[in-house]
Amino acid sequence: MSIGKVLEKWSKEIPNGYLIPEKLTYEQAADRVSRLASSISEGSVVAHFMFNSIDSVLTYIAGFWAGAKVVAIDPLTSSEDLRFILEDSSPDVIFTDDETQKREREVLKDFRSVIPSFNSEMRINARDYEDRTPGLSYYYAGIAGRTMEVIHSGLRVELNNRVLYETIGLNRISTVLTVPIAHVLGNSVLGVTLESGGELVPIKKFDPIEVSNLINKYSMNFLATVPMVYDSLIESGHGLSSLKVCISTAAPLFPKTINGFREKFNKNIVQQYGFTEGLVLTVQPLDVNDVITIGKPMKGVEIKVVKEDKTLSKPGETGELWVKAPWLMLGYSDESENSLVWEDGWLKTGDLVSFDERGLLYFKGVKKRMLKYKGYPIFPRDLELMLMSHPGVKEARVYGEDAGNMGQQPVANVVVKDGYRIKEDELLNYVNSRVAFYKRLKRINFVNRLD
C-alpha cells in the first residue's frame, strides 16, 4: 500500500472526516489529489519543491497516488544545490508554489516547472507500487556524507509510517506539521496522521504562538518536531494541555529542554531516531522518563552495535549502530557508494551508540562527516568542494562549531594559493550566496596548512 492508497481508503470509510480541520474532508482531499494525479504518468519522476501548505500536502500525496517517484526537495534549496538535484534526478515535472517559482526562476527556467492545478475533469484510482519500485527520493545522503540521491520504495515508506503509528499508540492523531514535508520527519508526521485517519494542519513557518493556538483550538494530541521548536514553545507557547505524545528528533535533545517543557506544560518529551537512508527506526517508550535515550527498535527492526575491532558491544560500550529493517532504502543512485554502507544485509549507520541492560539506546556521536543545524543535515564535503572551486583556494576543511540546541554551524579552515589575496567576506559570499540558509558558513579561518 502507498500513502495514496491510504488516503483513498479513508475517503471511502470516513468521507466526512477532516484531513485538514474545518477546511478539507478526506473525500474532498481524495477528489483533489485524484484530479492532479490524473496528469502524472505512472513511473514518472515528479519533483516536489513547495513550502508547507494544503496544496503542498495534496501535491505530495498525488505523486504517490499516481505511482510516480517523488523527489522531495526542501523548499529552501537554492541556486547550485537546486540545479544539481534537478539535473541529477531529471524530473518529468517540478511542482512549485509562487515563492519557489519566483525565487528560483533562473534555475527552473531550464526545466518543466508548474504550480499544481486540481481542476482536471479526469480522476484516477490510486495506484500502488511493487515492493522494490522507487517511490521517494531524498538528496540527504547522511551515511555517505555528501549530497546524492537516496532511493526508497513507495511501498516501504508506507510500511514505516504504519509501524511508527502502531508504536506511538494513539488511536486518531491530530497534529501540526512544523517542518518541511520534504524531510524524513515531515514525511513521517504526514504518514502517521494518514495511517490514523487523523487531522493535520501544515504551517509554512514556525511561530510558537500560532502553533500553541492551533494545538489548543483543535485539541491536538500529538507533536513531533525538532528540539528548537520545543525551546521556542517553552519561551513563548501557552496551553498545550491536549497533547498526549511529544516527540523530539533530528538534533540533540538536552535536559534543559526536557525539564523546561515538563515544568511549564507538565508534558514529557520522548525521542525517536531515524535518518534519510533508514527512515524512523527507534522510539523512546512513553513510560521511560528517567534518562535521555533514543529508545528501542520498533517492531521489525534488528540492531547490533559494532566496535572498531568488529566485535559486538556489551552494555555500556560504544560502537557503530548497524540496522536491518523491512523499509530501509533501496540504495543510492551511485552504486559505488552502496558497497560502503551495506555489509551482509546490515546497513551501517555511521552513528555511535551504546545501550544499557534495559535495551535502551543512547546516542554518542557520529563516525560519518555530517553536521546538523536546526534539524537540517549539512555535509562538510559539499562546502569544501564549493570553496575549492574558487580560483584562489588551495585546500579547505569544514567543521562544526557548537550552536547549542540548534546543533552545529559550519566553519571553514582555508589554505589560499600562492599569489592570491582573498578577503573573508568575499569568500563567505562566494559560498553563502549559492546555498540554503542552514548551510551558510559562519566564519572562515585562513591558515597556512590543514592539520
Tens-level pLDDT at each residue, the chain (451 residues): 899 999 999 999 999 999 999 999 999 999 999 999 999 999 999 999 999 999 999 999 999 999 999 999 999 998 888 999 999 999 999 999 999 999 999 999 999 999 999 999 999 999 999 999 999 999 987 676 678 899 999 999 999 999 999 999 999 999 999 999 999 999 999 999 999 999 999 999 999 999 999 999 999 999 999 999 999 999 999 999 999 999 999 888 999 999 999 999 999 999 999 999 999 999 999 999 889 999 999 999 999 999 999 999 999 999 999 999 999 999 999 888 898 899 999 999 999 999 999 999 999 988 777 788 887 888 888 899 899 999 999 999 999 998 887 888 999 999 999 989 999 999 999 999 888 888 899 999 999 999 7
CB 220 within 8 A of CB 243: yes
How far apart, in Å, are the Cα atoms of 82 and each of 79, 135, 233, 293, 439?
A: 5, 20, 32, 35, 13
Nearest to 230 by CA among 201, 250, 257: 257
Which domains does the chain possess?
3-205 (3.40.50.12780), 268-366 (2.30.38.10), 371-446 (3.30.300.30)
Helix segments in 3-153, DSSP class H: 3-13, 26-37, 54-65, 79-89, 98-103, 105-108
Contacts of 48 (CB under 8 A, 6+ apart): 56, 59, 60, 63, 70, 71, 72, 73, 95, 181, 182
Cell numbers given for 271: 525521542
Find residue 393's DSSP bridge partners: 416
Find residue 174's DSSP bridge partners: 199
Q: How far apart are the first and last CA of the chain?
A: 51
CB 140 within 8 A of CB 147: yes
The C-alpha angle with vertex 195 and arms to 193 and 200, in degrees rounded to 5, equals: 15
Cell numbers given for 73: 526537495
CB 383 within 8 A of CB 414: no
How far apart, in Å, are the Cα atoms of 139 and each of 68, 117, 295, 307, 340?
A: 17, 26, 27, 29, 18
Residue whose entry in the numeric block shows the C-alpha cell 508526521: 189
- Its pTM stands at 0.89
Type of residue at 379? F
Quote the strand ranges of 191-253, DSSP E: 199-202, 222-225, 245-248
Q: Report CA 27 to chain centroid distance, whole Å.
A: 28
The C-alpha angle with vertex 171 and arms to 207 and 297, in degrees rounded to 5, equals: 85
Type of residue at 44? S
Nearest to 263 by CA among 255, 271, 272: 255
Contacts of 135 (CB under 8 A, 6+ apart): 2, 64, 67, 68, 69, 70, 129, 152, 153, 154, 155, 157
Contacts of 207 (CB under 8 A, 6+ apart): none
Contacts of 104 (CB under 8 A, 6+ apart): 49, 78, 79, 82, 96
Nearest to 333 by CA among 32, 71, 21, 41: 71
The C-alpha angle with vertex 273 and arms to 338 and 161, in degrees rounded to 5, equals: 85
Residue whose entry in the numeric block shows the C-alpha cell 526536557: 258
How far apart, in Å, are the Cα atoms of 318 and each of 38, 152, 155, 215, 360?
A: 51, 29, 34, 39, 13
